[in-house]
């Protein structure tokens, strides 16, 4: 480990970052001019598709041609969009990149609209005729599972003309999320505060979480209050954007004849409703474990009261900065139980520049994994040198290796990874990293830091995401009843949930009532619950890999290759996991309690 971490966040120009720490975006396109050529090529493919629109169900040859053309269109659109959003996320203030992103988004909507006739036309075919084509034409057989999934959606698929109208709304519907991103990452300006040494530190979206981990309580408090003061000024526009997005979800679900938005969100992956509602019910019954953790944290910190700005406070003095090359080595060592194949892919990720490492001016905050079929995966980070950043690196590598193995093993049509499964891949890496770090800890203080970090992962990735999922359900249900989704409504509901989840020993500061406004995931319909289920499932899986070794690791690598060929619950059966049962939740929270006891004993 290096010198004590400097909490100041200096947004520098991308050109000053060494090439080896920037993602290899030119492997997608060498220039904007080359990207524009593919945009033109996409238009040509769409024109070819329109020529086949009214004839492709007449005979198997044309039917195959349209399905293959659909794959080519979607793969190219994915590549075009990936490049555009990566450019934008490098610098949200760059007008050229914004225009790329807008053009790519419009092209994606145009492609969806042009392709919208295919599923209704397939559903108009006699199923016995389709089965005969599949038997007679070998090249069609790769589409058999895909066609089965289309027929499953028959009652929720509209006529060709109606599907075309729905597809045309895509660009408009995305504007809620896009406006949220522009407001949050390009337009918002945060104040500066003084750190412990009297230095002036600008608050940014990226360094806010680092400031909340500052060992000095006054620094945490100043950052917390100053940050949310900005959101207070924009609370009404954030509420309007979120309400509009919820109405969008309701429109699509009712138009497609679902009972509600939750049913619509779960249907495509064949997830039973009880997986969602059972998660909320189970956590309600076990919420005393989270209260136990916050009490232990309050006592350890020697505080009479634990405020929300204390929640991320470090539990040991002198946490040092972890240089990025050291972080790379740490994750590689922790991944050894997964075998040589996995480690080789991670080394390739570092060598082939999958990762954009450091924060730069205008860059989107946070971290994510992205990519397109046929190209390398990419990871956006805003590395600050904290232990949290090392975990983020391990987490995003989990996503990227998952994509890499799926793309190598599946044809394009089955290369999509369900979010329900994706979070297992990322969190399993975090479990392995935790136990590696605990094993290598040199003293009691380091063990406390690591244990606290993993307990915090339980709090933030499990309990907090369940709280988000509960809020999301409450908002959708209120909208379905015709209630107004205002800033006051959202603040009150969020305050009530915080009181329940954190208990009487935590002061729910008024600023935290606004936290809903900064969460982008509320714009992704019923997305967040999968963080909690994925985390809990990964806890059980990580323990098995560490205890049972190669047999489980081999099954796990095979799991990472499955893509969307089968439904998530069927894929999980192959590694002996059943999310409909609450056993996996019991296992996860038993592990949480065990870690709490270790923490208490230390």
What's residue 171's pLDDT? 81
Positive or negative, the CA dihedral 105, 518, 496, 483 is negative
32: alpha, beta or left? (left if phi > 0; alpha if psi -120 to 50)? alpha
Q: Which two tokens mark 516? A: 């809903």
Q: Label residue 388 by pLDDT band (50, 70, 90).
A: confident
- CA 392/CA 17 separation, integer angstroms: 20
14 against 378, higher pLDDT: 378
Average pLDDT score over residue span 571-597: 90
Average pLDDT score over residue span 339-351: 96
Average pLDDT score over residue span 320-332: 94
Average pLDDT score over residue span 299-306: 92
- The model's pTM is 0.81
Annotated catalytic residue 148: no
Contact between 75 and 374 (Cβ < 8 Å): yes
What's residue 8's pLDDT? 41
What is the DSSP secondary-structure string of 451-481?
HHHHHHHIIIIIIHHHHHHHHHHHHHHHHHT
Q: Label residue 439 by pLDDT band (50, 70, 90).
A: very high
What residue has token string 């963080």? 531
Average pLDDT score over residue span 63-82: 97
What's residue 319's pLDDT? 56
> Which range (55-69, 308-322, 575-589) has the least confidence?
308-322
pLDDT at 272 over 80: yes
Q: Label residue 195 by pLDDT band (50, 70, 90).
A: confident
pLDDT at 2 over 50: no
**Residue 3, SS3?**
coil
- CA 85/CA 490 separation, integer angstroms: 30
What's residue 198's pLDDT? 84
What's residue 4's pLDDT? 31
What's residue 124's pLDDT? 87
What's residue 556's pLDDT? 95
> Which range (76-80, 84-88, 577-581) has the least confidence?
577-581
What's residue 324's pLDDT? 96
Q: What is the mean pLDDT of the chain?
A: 91
What's residue 15's pLDDT? 72
pLDDT at 378 over 50: yes
pLDDT at 339 over 90: yes
Q: Label residue 425 by pLDDT band (50, 70, 90).
A: very high
What's residue 10's pLDDT? 53
- CA 387/CA 601 separation, integer angstroms: 23
What's residue 3's pLDDT? 30
What's residue 506's pLDDT? 94
The pair phi, psi for residue 320, each rounded to 5°, is -95, 160
What's residue 11's pLDDT? 62
Catalytic residue among 396, 430, 472, 511: 396
Average pLDDT score over residue span 535-550: 91
- CA 238/CA 487 separation, integer angstroms: 8
What's residue 453's pLDDT? 84
What's residue 478's pLDDT? 96
**Residue 369, SS3?**
strand
What residue has token string 């000095």? 216
Question: What Å distances lie between residue 171 and 115, 162, 256, 530, CA to CA?
Answer: 15, 16, 18, 26
Domains in the chain (CATH in brackets) are 14-175 (1.20.140.70), 176-188+234-352+386-602 (1.10.1370.20)
From 309, 327, 401, 244, select the one nearest 5 (Cα to Cα): 327
Contact between 239 and 176 (Cβ < 8 Å): no
pLDDT at 5 over 60: no
- CA 4/CA 589 separation, integer angstroms: 34
485 against 444, higher pLDDT: 485
pLDDT at 159 over 90: no
């Amino acid at each position: 480990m290096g010198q004590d971490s400097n909490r100041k966040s200096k947004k520098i120009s991308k050109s000053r970052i060494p090439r080896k720490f920037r993602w290899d975006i030119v492997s997608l396109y060498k220039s904007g001019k080359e990207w524009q050529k593919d945009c033109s090529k996409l238009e040509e493919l769409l024109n070819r598709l329109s020529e086949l629109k009214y004839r492709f169900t007449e005979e198997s040859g044309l039917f195959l041609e349209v399905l293959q053309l659909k794959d080519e269109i979607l793969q190219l659109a994915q590549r075009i969009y990936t490049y555009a959003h990566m450019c934008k996320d490098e610098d949200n203030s760059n007008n050229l990149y914004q225009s790329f992103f807008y053009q790519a988004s419009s092209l994606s909507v145009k492609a969806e609209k042009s392709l919208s006739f295919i599923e209704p036309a397939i559903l108009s075919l006699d199923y016995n005729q389709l089965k005969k084509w599949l038997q007679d034409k070998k090249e069609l057989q790769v589409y058999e599972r895909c066609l089965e999934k289309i027929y499953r959606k028959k009652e929720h698929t509209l006529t060709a003309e109606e599907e075309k109208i729905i597809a045309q709304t895509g660009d408009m519907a995305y504007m809620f999320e896009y406006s949220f991103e522009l407001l949050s990452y390009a337009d918002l300006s945060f104040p500066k505060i003084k750190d412990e040494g009297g230095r002036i530190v600008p608050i940014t979206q990226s360094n806010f979480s680092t400031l909340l981990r500052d060992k000095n309580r006054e620094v945490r408090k100043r950052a917390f209050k100053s940050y949310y003061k900005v959101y207070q000024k924009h609370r009404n526009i954030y509420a309007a954007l979120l309400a509009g997005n919820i109405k969008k979800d309701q429109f699509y679900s009712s138009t497609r004849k679902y009972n509600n938005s939750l049913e619509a969100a779960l249907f495509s992956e064949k997830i039973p409703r009880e997986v969602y509602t059972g998660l909320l019910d189970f956590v309600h019954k076990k919420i005393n474990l989270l209260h136990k953790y916050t009490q232990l944290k309050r006592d350890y910190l020697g505080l009479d009261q634990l405020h929300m700005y204390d929640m991320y406070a470090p539990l040991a003095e002198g946490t040092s900065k972890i240089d990025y090359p050291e972080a790379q080595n740490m994750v590689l060592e922790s991944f050894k139980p997964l075998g040589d194949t996995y480690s080789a892919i991670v080394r390739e990720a570092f060598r082939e520049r999958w990762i954009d490492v450091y924060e730069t001016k205008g860059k989107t905050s946070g971290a994510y994994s992205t990519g397109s079929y046929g190209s390398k995966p990419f990871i956006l980070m805003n590395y600050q040198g904290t232990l949290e950043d090392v975990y983020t690196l391990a987490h995003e590598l989990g996503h990227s290796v998952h994509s890499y193995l799926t793309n190598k093993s599946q044809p394009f049509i089955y290369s999509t990874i369900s979010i329900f499964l994706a979070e297992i891949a990322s969190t399993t890496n975090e479990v392995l990293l935790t136990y590696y770090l605990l094993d290598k800890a040199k003293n009691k203080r380091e063990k406390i830091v690591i244990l606290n970090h993993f307990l915090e992962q339980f709090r933030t990735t499990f309990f907090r995401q369940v709280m988000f999922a509960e809020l999301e359900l409450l908002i959708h249900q209120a909208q379905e009843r015709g209630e107004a989704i205002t800033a006051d409504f959202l603040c009150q509901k969020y305050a009530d949930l915080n009181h329940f989840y954190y208990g009487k020993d935590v002061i729910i500061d008024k600023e935290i009532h606004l936290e809903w406004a900064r969460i982008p995931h509320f714009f992704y319909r019923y997305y967040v619950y999968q963080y909690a289920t994925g985390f809990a499932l990964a806890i059980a899986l990580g323990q098995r890999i560490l205890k049972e070794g190669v047999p489980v690791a081999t099954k796990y690598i095979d799991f990472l290759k499955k893509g969307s060929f089968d439904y998530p619950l069927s894929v999980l059966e192959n590694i002996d996991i059943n999310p409909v049962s609450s056993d996996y939740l019991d296992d996860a929270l038993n592990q949480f309690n065990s870690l709490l006891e270790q923490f208490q004993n230390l």
